[in-house]
């Protein structure tokens, strides 16, 4: 989840809303890659989720990173709730999931180095206090009531509202983890093409990264339960966004969509004010009940944009949101997958050619099927495994065309970061399949074995 935005002046006319998004446009040579990933922490002696405070806790991990690895604290109402260093942030998801929001970097080699350093530092602190971390799309054993709610005002408001809309909002908050990548666009036209490809191909990412087959200690019938959760959370702010594929889509159409997303909060003087279900359109007119007579700033608009949760979204950059959290190697594979598709024009065109004939019903059916069946999904004539092979080939070609070397020039490009996905194509199995094989085999139905064998 995002930290409060800052630096935006008053909104004096409607055009500023689209201009805010358009200000994110960058020339190709300034495009960067920002990787985000979440993981579950637990007490090694009990296998229970981490509380906020205590000897074995989220707070102890944050303090250790601050004191031993040079991170600067981020406080809210006197509580340590995040860290920052060098353009990156460590933040807390609602149920205590620890998230790295990486700095904007030039290539996958750098972002993978960042991931590796972060996980090494987290493990250094965790080992000292008897804590473990694991990358999964959903908590495999813990019940809803086992999961703490972190002391962030934003989450208290969201928790209340989530209980009134959909049926899985609080499950999403406490019991899911993802890995995402944030990418740039050069113009409105470039943004439109990228967002359409991103939304259409999120089900392929969901299938390739599916890693949440367990809930409440047993199989849940899905390869990606995290994806299933997002389908029944809050229809006003989630989904595959059919309007993005309509003629005339652009920044202003996104503004109109975001204005119709009900508000959660307004951030003032270090506190989150309750604006649950209120309208940003009313806010623009000075009619917001939470702040009568006051009109919003661009910081308020930036905050509000973080409360829409579709499968891909734009702010001043684009976020790919369809993948489960997972094993170490796949944290680098996710940005490689999308960079190969998005940052080479020939590959982007090829990806669009692949998906441009899919209609709204097909895209949604692929989303559902990917959640349930992973690479074994099939929708009409579309076979997920065959489609994933095409998509990975396009991504690999894009990475080769980028030709960004690593290891001092010893590695020619970024294609090797796709190896984990290529292995899945060859075997037909994604992490969820491997976990289910273990559950039905060596583990003999004991999901708790997952902690010893799959933690970082």
Q: Considering the entire predicted model, what is its pTM?
A: 0.97
CB-based contact 73:66 (threshold 8 Å) = yes
What tokens does 181 get? Answer: 């990548």
Q: How far apart are the first and last CA of the chain?
A: 22
Residue 4 lies in a domain: no
Torsion of the alpha carbons at 266, 177, 209 and 231, rounded to the nearest 10 = -60
Q: Reduce the DSSP state of residue 50 to 3 states and report it.
A: coil
Residue 268 lies in a domain: no
- The HSE-up count of residue 62 (CA atoms within 13 Å, CB side) is 28
CB-based contact 95:51 (threshold 8 Å) = no
Q: Dihedral of CA 429/430/434/440: which sign?
A: negative
In whole angstroms, give the CA distance from residue 207 to residue 200.
Answer: 13
Number of domains in the chain: 1
Pairing mode, if any, of strands 98-101 and 88-92?
antiparallel
Residue 133 lies in a domain: yes
- The confidence score (pLDDT) of residue 8 equals 79
In whole angstroms, give the CA distance from residue 393 to residue 385.
Answer: 12
What 100-104 contacts at long range (C-beta under 8 Å, 24+ apart), as own/partner pairs, is: 100/35, 100/36, 100/37, 101/34, 101/36, 102/34, 102/35, 102/36, 103/34, 104/32, 104/33, 104/34, 104/182
Residue 292 lies in a domain: no
Residue 302 lies in a domain: no
- The confidence score (pLDDT) of residue 438 equals 98
Angle between helices 328-342 and 108-129 (to 10 degrees): 160
Q: Reduce the DSSP state of residue 418 to 3 states and report it.
A: helix
In whole angstroms, give the CA distance from residue 64 to residue 160.
Answer: 31
Residue 172 lies in a domain: yes
In whole angstroms, give the CA distance from residue 287 to residue 260.
Answer: 15
In whole angstroms, give the CA distance from residue 163 to residue 145.
Answer: 14
Q: What are phi and psi of 383, to 5 degrees?
A: -95, 125
Residue 281 lies in a domain: no
- The confidence score (pLDDT) of residue 7 equals 60
Residue 56 lies in a domain: yes
Q: Which residues contact 363 (CB under 8 A, 6 or more apart)?
A: 199, 200, 203, 240, 242
Angle between helices 328-342 and 384-402 (to 10 degrees): 70
How do the pLDDT tens digits run along the chain, 456 residues long? 566 665 679 999 999 999 999 999 999 999 999 999 999 999 999 999 999 999 999 999 999 999 999 999 999 999 999 999 999 999 999 999 999 999 999 999 999 999 999 999 999 999 999 999 999 999 999 998 999 999 999 999 999 899 999 899 999 999 999 999 999 999 999 999 999 999 999 999 999 999 999 999 999 999 999 999 999 999 999 999 999 999 999 999 999 999 999 999 999 998 999 999 999 999 999 999 999 999 999 999 999 999 999 999 999 999 999 999 999 999 999 999 999 999 999 999 999 999 999 999 999 999 999 999 999 999 999 999 999 999 999 999 999 999 999 999 999 999 999 999 999 999 999 999 999 999 999 999 999 999 999 999
Q: Which residues contact 302 (CB under 8 A, 6 or more apart)?
A: 5, 8, 20, 315
CATH of the domain at 323: 3.30.590.20
CB-based contact 40:179 (threshold 8 Å) = no
- The confidence score (pLDDT) of residue 108 equals 98
In whole angstroms, give the CA distance from residue 345 to residue 351.
Answer: 10
Q: Exposed, middle or buried: residue 279 (CB in 10 Å: 0-12, 13-18, 19+)?
A: middle
> Residue 348: which domain range?
15-261+308-454
Angle between helices 58-69 and 108-129 (to 10 degrees): 120
Give me the DSSP letters along 177-232. -EEEEEE--SSHHHHHHHHHHHHHHHHHHHHHT--B-EETTEE-S-SBHHHHHHTT
- The confidence score (pLDDT) of residue 1 equals 52
- The confidence score (pLDDT) of residue 347 equals 98
CB-based contact 261:410 (threshold 8 Å) = no
């Amino acid at each position: 989840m995002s930290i409060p935005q800052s630096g935006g002046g008053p909104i004096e006319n409607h055009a500023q809303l689209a201009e805010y998004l358009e200000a994110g446009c960058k020339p190709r040579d300034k495009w960067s890659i920002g990787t985000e990933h979440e993981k579950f922490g637990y007490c090694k002696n009990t296998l229970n989720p981490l509380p906020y405070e205590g000897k074995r806790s989220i707070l102890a991990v944050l303090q250790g990173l601050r004191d031993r690895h040079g991170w600067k604290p981020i406080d809210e109402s006197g509580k340590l709730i995040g860290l920052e260093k060098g353009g990156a942030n460590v933040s807390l998801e609602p149920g205590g999931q620890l998230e790295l929001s990486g700095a904007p970097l030039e290539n996958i080699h750098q972002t993978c180095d960042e991931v590796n350093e972060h996980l090494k530092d987290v493990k250094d602190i965790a080992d000292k206090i008897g804590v473990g971390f694991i990358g999964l799309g959903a908590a495999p054993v813990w019940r809803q009531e086992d999961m703490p709610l972190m002391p962030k005002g934003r989450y208290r408001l969201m928790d209340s509202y989530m209980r009134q809309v959909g049926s899985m909002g609080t499950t999403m908050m406490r019991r899911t983890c993802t890995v995402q990548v944030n990418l740039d666009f050069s113009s409105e036209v470039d943004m439109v093409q990228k967002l359409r490809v991103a939304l259409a191909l999120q089900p392929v990412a969901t299938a390739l990264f599916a890693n949440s087959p367990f809930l409440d200690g047993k199989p849940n019938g899905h390869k990606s339960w995290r994806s299933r959760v997002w389908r029944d959370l809050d229809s006003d702010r989630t989904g595959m966004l059919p309007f993005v594929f309509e003629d005339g889509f652009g920044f202003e159409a996104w503004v109109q969509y975001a204005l119709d997303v009900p508000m959660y909060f307004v951030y003032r003087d270090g506190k989150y004010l309750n604006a649950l279900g209120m309208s940003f359109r009313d806010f623009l007119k000075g009619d917001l009940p939470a702040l009568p007579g006051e009109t919003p700033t661009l910081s308020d608009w930036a905050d509000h944009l973080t409360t829409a949760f579709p499968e891909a979204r734009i702010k001043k950059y684009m976020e790919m949101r369809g993948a489960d959290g997972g094993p170490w190697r796949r944290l680098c594979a996710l940005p490689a997958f999308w960079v190969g598709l998005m940052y080479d024009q020939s590959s982007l065109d090829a990806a669009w050619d692949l998906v441009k004939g899919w209609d709204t019903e097909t895209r949604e059916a692929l989303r559902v099927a990917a959640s349930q069946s992973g690479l074994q999904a099939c929708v009409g004539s579309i076979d997920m495994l065959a489609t994933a092979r095409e998509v990975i080939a396009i991504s690999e070609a894009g990475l080769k065309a980028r030709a960004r070397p690593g290891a001092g020039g010893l590695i020619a490009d970024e294609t090797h970061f796709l190896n984990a996905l290529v292995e899945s194509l060859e075997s037909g199995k994604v992490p969820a399949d491997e976990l289910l094989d273990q559950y039905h085999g060596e583990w003999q139905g004991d999901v708790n074995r997952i902690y010893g064998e799959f933690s970082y």
